[in-house]
Amino acid sequence: MATDKTIVLVTGANSGIGLETVIHLSKSSPNYHIILCSRSQEKGEKALSSIQSAHGSSLQSPISVLQLDVTSAESIAAAKSHLDSTFSGHLDVLVQNAGVMPYQPLRDNSALTSFRETFETNVFGAAMLTDALAPLLQKSAEARIIYVSSGLGSITLRLDPGDEWRAIQGTIYRSSKAALDMLAACHRVEFAGWGCKVCAFNPGFCVTNLSGEEGRKRRVEMGARPASDAGRVLVDVISGKRDADVAKNGMVDVDGGVLPW
């Protein structure tokens, strides 16, 4: 399919922040082709039909579903082949949103397993995907990679006695997001030569499935914001409205400006 649209691929887009990003991006303009990636094809198709039934007439840009498990080299290779055959090997924006949050405390017996599993998705998966898709992004005049990180990954805030999340341990998750931020910083430097804009993004504390069904309820009780807040701001990052912040050192923050690494 030859297309003059800006091709945007969003990982982990069958729920939460990724799903909201797809919805708001499609509503924002007819000029995108949005690839809603889901590690389960079935969940991805279900998400697309729910988007179409809830927002049908206000959607402007087309959305297609692509199976993509970021921890699987085979799945990444298949996704790349799909982009090669369907979009002539072209990609403009890669939103690395897929992520997991484990509950195990650090000294738990299963902590090492949990550490590895979290890094497999939040860090190694993101690195593998960028590695595979960078040659496609290089064909774009407006290439962009957005890593959905977290304020919990900020080393500066972790050491700040006044930080509002001080009491939350979350060592495994925090470490994975700090590593993701470094990946973003390295790719910003490495890819600057061909004009690719790279940033990490802090979506804030949102009501999503990230910490399971019980966690979702707790998020509501704790006053977490709707995931649509993050989705709307990600549309601004994708469209370039936040480029002044993208160029700064730190995570582009949902509430404006940047958070320190």
Ligand X SMILES: NC(=O)c1ccc[n+]([C@@H]2O[C@H](COP(=O)([O-])OP(=O)(O)OC[C@H]3O[C@@H](n4cnc5c(N)ncnc54)[C@H](OP(=O)(O)O)[C@@H]3O)[C@@H](O)[C@H]2O)c1
- Using the minimum distance from each CB to ligand X, give the nearer residue, 197 or 219: 219
CA geometry: angle 187, 246, 47, nearest 5 deg = 85
Is residue 80 annotated as part of the catalytic site, yes or no?
no
Sign of the dihedral defined by the CA atoms of residues 261, 108, 117, 216, in that order: negative
Check residue 231 for interaction with ligand X (CB under 6 A).
no
> Among 24-32, 68-76, 87-95, 234-242, which window interacts with ligand X (CB under 6 A)?
68-76
- Using the minimum distance from each CB to ligand X, give the nearer residue, 98 or 143: 98
One-letter amino acid at 242 equals R
> Among 7-15, 27-35, 52-60, 183-191, which window interacts with ligand X (CB under 6 A)?
7-15
For residues 141-180, which are near ligand X according to CB under 6 A? 148, 150
User: In 10 A of CB 106, how many CB atoms?
Assistant: 13
Check residue 15 for interaction with ligand X (CB under 6 A).
yes
Check residue 228 for interaction with ligand X (CB under 6 A).
no
Check residue 208 for interaction with ligand X (CB under 6 A).
yes
> Among 86-94, 99-107, 183-191, 242-250, which window interacts with ligand X (CB under 6 A)?
99-107
Residues composing the chain: 261
Which one of residues 6, 61, 97, 239 is an interface residue with ligand X (CB under 6 A)? 97
Give me the least distance between CB of 60 and ligand X, in Å please.
Answer: 23
> Among 12-20, 127-135, 164-172, 185-193, which window interacts with ligand X (CB under 6 A)?
12-20
Give me the least distance between CB of 151 and ligand X, in Å please.
Answer: 7
Give me the least distance between CB of 210 and ligand X, in Å please.
Answer: 4
Q: Say which of 147, 177, 197, 217 is annotated catalytic.
A: 177
Q: Which residues are catalytic?
A: 173, 177
Q: What are the residues binding ligand X (CB under 6 A)?
A: 11-12, 14-18, 39-40, 43, 68-71, 97-101, 121, 125, 148, 150, 203, 205-206, 208-210, 227
